[in-house]
């Protein structure tokens, strides 16, 4: 955009725009804001995540610390919320979110299976994460038949460099000029990416074993049938969209016809822009998938009716499919979700304790619990540190009591064999610290707003006291009952057990 000014002789002269005329790097008017709710992002985010996971240091951090396998929908919701904050117009919110992300990543370090160290605050690795997001956004536009023009691409690249600068204090690990970025991206793809375990999990295991979101949790047969069809297709589409040099080096197969299918998927996702705007808001879609019929959200009534229809469809599907074998009587009855019955020890281990989904309980699992609780409550540094320290104390107590073979982690078999009472002093400390973090005003009870911040729903009838608050003793008792009694269908399930 140019502006007209008057010359001394009275003629008009065109001058280039100044910095004050440029579109904003953050908030409404930015390229990111225009594309954030685009349905094509669903495909682009999967592609970007695979490219991130293929970086050895990032892949090792994901395998050791991330909950994307066991709790993908929760991870998706938190990721979208974080990106919304980071690219929002409020600089204070952006600074606070950047500080939270930096604290979160500072707690993730270790070595991969080949003994190579990784650190989640490594600036080169973080630059690669931002690079994959930018390149996948450009690629999604190209594959859907609506490529970005050069000016829009330049502007988007400036936004992503500003995003990296907001995290790291500067963006020097991404090239300053866009033309140099493409050489940087190609070099990393060709020289550094590997067929890591994390990348294989995303491409093959994640889609094949993706747990149902809360919306579809009551219709496992219908979800499994749909997943069996969509999962392999999504994996094939993602592989076909990856850079050819990486596919070749990683030995990823490309089946005939899949490139055409991939193109069609991106074009179809792009056509969704003609749907009503409310249906395209990413957070609204994720919130809807997270709703349960027992929620106080007005949309829950629609969800309940939809689930009833899906349950009827699932019943019809069961009539058309072979019968499953009868359950072993020794296994006992299956606990029904939401009825308050006790989980089996194996279910509790898988749904609650094993947050990373690797089949073991160790520190990253408890750190993931602390991370989710701190994220929900938007804790500052002192409160967050106290919560992590409380969970670290609980881990030391668990390790001492349950790690029979001394390998530094607790297997499902070790846990099931012990069937311990987990409500020791360290877990009581966790409950007390969590209560204090939730009780923002420090008045000794959790009010309705504080309760919603933690549980994302209104008070349950069975946890309120006469004055309408949630007393400390009741909170601690309920938390210990959930963590040691292994009861399903409580207010605490959405915190740590939901997918």
Of 239, 271, 303, which residue is a domain's last?
Answer: 271
Residues 352 and 265 both lie in one domain: no
Return the percentage of the chain with pLDDT > 90, whole number: 47
Note the pLDDT tens digit of each residue in 378-400: 999 999 999 999 999 999 999 98
Residue 256, class by beta-carbon neighbours within 10 Å (0-12 exposed, 13-18 middle, 19+ buried)? exposed
Of 220, 236, 271, which residue is a domain's last?
Answer: 271
Name the residue range of residue 96's domain: 31-271
- Which whole number is the average pLDDT over 469-483? 89
Q: Classify residue 130: in a domain, yes or no.
A: yes
The strand ranges marked E within 121-260 are none
Q: What's residue 81's pLDDT?
A: 87
| CATH for 420 | 1.10.238.10
Q: Classify residue 282: in a domain, yes or no.
A: no
Q: Classify residue 52: in a domain, yes or no.
A: yes
Beta-carbon contacts of residue 2 (< 8 Å; ≥ 6 apart): 14, 15, 16, 17
Give the confidence band of 404 by pLDDT, cuts at 50, 70, 90. Answer: confident
Q: Classify residue 176: in a domain, yes or no.
A: yes
Residues 267 and 407 both lie in one domain: no
Residues 138 and 243 both lie in one domain: yes
Which of 36-45, 180-189, 193-202 has the least mean pLDDT?
A: 36-45
Residues 140 and 241 both lie in one domain: yes
Angle (deg, nearest 10), helices 91-106 and 150-168: 60
Q: Classify residue 85: in a domain, yes or no.
A: yes
Q: What's residue 462's pLDDT?
A: 64
Residues 383 and 238 both lie in one domain: no
Q: Classify residue 276: in a domain, yes or no.
A: no
Q: Are 21 and 80 in contact (CB under 8 A)?
A: no
Residue 194 pLDDT greater than 50, yes or no:
yes
Residues 210 and 350 both lie in one domain: no
Residue 17 pLDDT greater than 50, yes or no:
no
Residues 265 and 376 both lie in one domain: no
Cα angle at 199 between 100 and 355, to 5 degrees?
50
Give the confidence band of 459 by pLDDT, cuts at 50, 70, 90. Answer: confident
Note the pLDDT tens digit of each residue in 320-358: 555 444 444 444 334 444 444 567 888 888 888 999 999
Q: What is the mean pLDDT of the chain?
A: 83
Q: What is the pTM of this model?
A: 0.82
Integer-rounded Cα Rg, in Å, for the chain is 25
Of 240, 271, 302, which residue is a domain's last?
Answer: 271
Residues 50 and 141 both lie in one domain: yes
Residues 162 and 57 both lie in one domain: yes
β partners of residue 435:
none
Residues 267 and 387 both lie in one domain: no
Compare 60 and 302 and report the one with higher pLDDT.
Answer: 60
Residues 197 and 86 both lie in one domain: yes
- Rounded Cα distance between 166 and 476, Å, is 38
Q: What's residue 135's pLDDT?
A: 97
Closest CA to 164 of 92, 87, 228: 87
Domain count, the chain: 2
Residues 90 and 204 both lie in one domain: yes
CA–CA distances in Å: residue 280 to residues 10, 42, 275, 297, 456? 50, 11, 7, 19, 22
Q: Classify residue 181: in a domain, yes or no.
A: yes
DSSP for 70-82, please give it.
Answer: T-HHHHHHHHHHH
Q: Classify residue 396: in a domain, yes or no.
A: yes
Note the pLDDT tens digit of each residue in 411-454: 988 888 776 556 789 999 999 999 999 999 999 999 999 998 99
């Amino acid at each position: 955009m140019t502006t007209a000014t008057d010359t001394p002789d009275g003629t008009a002269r065109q001058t280039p725009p100044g910095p004050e005329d440029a579109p904003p790097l953050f908030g409404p008017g930015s390229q990111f804001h225009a594309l954030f709710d685009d349905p094509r992002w669903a495909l682009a985010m999967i592609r970007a995540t695979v490219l991130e996971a293929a970086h050895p240091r990032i892949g090792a951090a994901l395998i050791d610390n991330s909950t994307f396998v066991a709790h993908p929908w929760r991870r998706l919701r938190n990721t979208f919320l974080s990106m919304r904050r980071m690219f929002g117009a409020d600089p204070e919110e952006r600074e606070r979110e950047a500080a939270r992300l930096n604290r979160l990543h500072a707690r993730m370090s270790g070595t991969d299976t080949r003994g190579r160290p990784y650190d989640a605050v490594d600036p080169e690795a973080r630059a690669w994460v931002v690079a994959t997001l930018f390149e996948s956004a450009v690629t999604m536009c190209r594959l859907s038949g609506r490529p970005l023009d050069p000016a829009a691409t330049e502007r988007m690249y400036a936004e992503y460099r500003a995003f990296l600068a907001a995290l790291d204090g500067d963006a020097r690990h991404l090239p300053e000029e866009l033309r140099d970025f493409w050489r940087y991206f190609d070099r990393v793809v060709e020289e550094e990416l590997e067929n890591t375990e994390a990348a294989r999990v995303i491409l093959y295991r994640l889609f094949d074993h993706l747990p149902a979101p809360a919306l579809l949790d009551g219709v496992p047969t219908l979800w499994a049938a749909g997943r069996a069809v969509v999962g392999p297709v999504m994996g094939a589409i993602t592989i076909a969209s990856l850079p050819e040099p990486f596919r070749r080096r990683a030995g990823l197969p490309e089946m005939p016809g899949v490139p055409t299918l991939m193109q069609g998927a991106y074009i179809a996702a792009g056509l969704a822009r003609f749907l009503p705007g409310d249906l395209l808001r990413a957070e609204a879609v994720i919130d809807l998938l997270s709703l349960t019929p027992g929620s106080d959200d007005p949309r829950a009534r629609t969800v309940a009716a939809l689930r009833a229809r899906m349950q009827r469809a699932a019943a019809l599907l069961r009539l058309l499919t072979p019968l499953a074998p009868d359950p072993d009587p020794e296994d006992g009855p299956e606990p029904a979700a939401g009825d308050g019955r006790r989980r089996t020890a194996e279910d509790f281990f898988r749904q609650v304790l094993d947050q990373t989904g690797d089949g073991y309980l160790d520190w990253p699992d408890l750190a993931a619990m602390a991370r989710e609780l701190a994220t929900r409550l938007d804790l500052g540094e002192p409160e967050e540190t106290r919560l992590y320290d409380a969970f670290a104390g609980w881990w030391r107590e668990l390790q001492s009591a349950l790690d029979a073979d001394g390998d530094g982690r607790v297997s499902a078999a070790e846990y099931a064999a012990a069937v311990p009472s987990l409500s020791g002093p360290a877990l009581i400390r966790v409950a007390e610290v969590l209560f204090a973090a939730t009780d923002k005003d420090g008045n000794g009870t959790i009010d309705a707003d504080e309760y919603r911040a933690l549980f994302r729903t209104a008070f349950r009838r069975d946890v309120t006291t006469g004055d309408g608050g949630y007393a400390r003793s009741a909170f601690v008792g309920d938390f210990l009952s959930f963590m040691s009694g292994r009861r399903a269908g409580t207010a605490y399930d959405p915190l740590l057990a939901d997918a």
